[in-house]
A and B are shown apart, each in its own frame.
Chain A
Amino acid sequence: MAAIGNRTTARFNAHAARALESSVLQQAIRRRQDSRQELQTRAAEELPDWEVWKDSVEAVRTHTIAHLDHYLGQFADAVERRGGHVFFAANADEAREHVAQLAREKNAKLIVKSKSMLSEEIGLNGALQASGAEVVETDLGEFIIQLAHETPFHILGPASHKKLEEIRDLFETLSGEELACEPRALAAFARQYLREKFLAADMGITGCNFGVASEGSVVLVTNEGNGRMTSSLPRTHVVLMGMERLVPDLQSLEPMLTVLPRSANGVRSTVYVSIINGPRQHGDLDGPEDLHVIVVDNGRSQILGGDYRDILNCIRCGACLDNCPVYRHIGGHAYGPVYSGPIGAVLTPLLQGLEAQHHLPFACSLCGACGDVCSARVPLPDFLLSLRNDSVQKGLGKLSWQAGFRGFSEATTRPRFWELCLRSARLGLWPWARRGAVRNGPGPLRGWTRSRDLPALAARSFRRTWREDGDSPSEGGS
């Protein structure tokens, strides 16, 4: 596990460094964050009692999670009553294998998918492709990164880092034709290419924004229409649902569907909201013949019983990413292949184990912006701090880091030794100190001082000043 932790930390550092050095990525991230922040603020301001709506989201989510066993049972009964099927998957392996088994049973050669972070989490595409099916991502952003063999850069804007020319090149390679380097022309090509896939697909796989326990409904919130196509046109519809996605009843949907689009895209409603209640009924002229809902645990029940339960309240609006100063600099890929930004920095260590992802909670300036904008009032800053504490308690992280803090602790509790350290440091850092700051410092200071200033130690320490001048009134001090 320690080896995995070191690998993921190295991967994080490499991706973060790449993002910081790329002016193209920096521009793309800022473009997205600036536009989203403006839209989100405007949408929230337009709605009276915005904070009350968020209170409502928090209350409904907290209530649901506290009675999740009850609502999961109710949901499964209702889905089956409407003619659908429910499979409970304890982990990613079970979920992948069940969907692959369904694909084999249905002889599905072509599978279309709409965006689902859970499918990324369980690594579904690889399993389906291994079983011989062609899997096509149909969300425009997911389609782009599938062609580029990349992972999502943002939970809502998976291709927000791609340049126009890169997208044009990917589409040209696919089509074998020359395409105009213009968003509308490229979107038109995607429409035409994917339309043929939708009409020929044997199976459609979607995620699930919310499951309605009392009705067995699956709610999909989308803008492009690919979610509707995926859930309507193929004869089999498979839904991947994290087990925490439920709300108790239809009326509980109102706060979710009021807050989610405003927090996610700064709009009053997404273009499409579909409430799917089972497969097509007798007399329906279209819709899937079969509906299968896969309810996935994959580490969630472990979170349920611990101190971080409220993270399961998250409704995946992505506002924490759009307001995070760290995400603004390092982008999405540093956090790993699935969940990025503050939600990723909390959720990924909880799902995969802190040992493997102990660096993520440290990817945070503790500014608190994520907590302020969170649709469900998840205390993300508190969780990040608490995970750091867990990490230290478990003795995770670099040995040099731990040794450094142990040394700091020893030094600060011994006044004479501390004084000696300060004097030595003042002397030792003198060659690197310029105009009151240490720049490009030596050894362990290099990481910090390469891109930031470290204030140089004052010529006379506070303790010495206090000792020598303590009784004199200060000039202009308060």
Chain B
Amino acid sequence: MKREVFLQKVRQQLGRVADSPVATPPRFRVEARPFSVDPDSLQQLFLDRQSQLDVAVTLACSRSDAQMAVEELLKERKWRISCALDVRWAGIAGCWTDSAAEADFGLCVAEWAIAETGSVVLVLAGTHTRGASLLPPAVGFFVAKSRLVARLGDVLHFLDADGGLPACVTMVTGPSASADIVGVRTVGVHGPSQVRVYIIENE
């Protein structure tokens, strides 16, 4: 069906003959939060949420400390790694594979982390591939402590202000999960069953 015919039908049902100006959408910014928003409190809340989600968290002082922690993990588990990082992060020693589908571990840099929900936010564009955070059975996210925000609305505000959205923004909250078989929660149904977060203090 032609777009204009479709829209005209909708207009008629709404009692209009032409598109008319629209007021600003309603905003109900709810300010009350049940937690403090200073960086340490947000970090503690985020850690609590990760613990409830069965996510392992490593607190690293610097980017190189986080990289070392990943290297140790890869060595200990004998995991192949695939990465969704830009070139700044390419110095990690390990057994690399270009195919995320064949990797045991995917590593990604999160743009933000949301304390209230325990989510990490991935801006997926360029070398930050979708596959690295999705296809391996285990995944790790680097996130700077300075990028911890209180709640989802803060991220949406940043995305809105930035303009020029990437092809995909994804928020990840814990391991892939389903309760579709007799209501029993199982993890790793399609996406990773193991999630690790590396919080970097001085980034």
Contact = CB atoms under 8 A, between A and B. Distances in A.
A69 to B, nearest CB: 4
Interface in B151-203: 152-153, 156-157, 159-160, 165-184, 186, 188-192
A191 interface: yes
Contact of A271 (B129, B169, B174, B183): B174
Contacts of B77: none
A89 B190 contact: no
Q: Which of A63, A141, A251 has the most CB of B within 10 A?
A: A251
B126 to A, nearest CB: 5
A301 B116 CA distance: 38
A270 interface: yes
A249 B153 CA distance: 12
Contacts of B190: 138, 191, 194-195, 198, 224-226, 228-229
A313 B32 CA distance: 26
Interface residues of A, number: 102
Nearest to B131: A286
Contacts, number: 250
Contacts of B168: 232, 274-277, 287
Interface stretch (B23-31, B63-71, B103-111): B23-31
A267 to B, nearest CB: 8
B90 to A, nearest CB: 14
Given A157-B180, A271-B174, A272-B170, A67 B165 contact: no
Contacts of A67: 14, 22
Nearest to A158: B180
A68 B14 contact: yes
Contact of A56 (B3, B28, B116): B28
Contact of B189 (A32, A66, A224, A280): A224
Interface string A60-77: 100110111111110010
Interface residues of B, number: 73
B183 A269 contact: no
Contacts of B58: none
A287 B124 contact: yes
B12 interface: yes
A52 interface: yes
A144 B182 CA distance: 12
B91 interface: no
Contact of A301 (B2, B13, B118, B174): B13
Nearest to A281: B167
Given A184-B186, A269-B173, A66 B19 contact: no
Contact of A190 (B12, B126, B156, B189): B189
Kindly list the 7 A-B residue pairs having the minimum CB-CB distance in the complex, ordered from nearest. Answer: A225-B191, A305-B13, A56-B28, A141-B180, A225-B190, A88-B6, A140-B180
Interface of B: 1-3, 5-7, 9-16, 19-20, 22-23, 25-28, 30, 32-34, 49, 101, 114, 116-119, 124-127, 129-131, 134, 152-153, 156-157, 159-160, 165-184, 186, 188-192
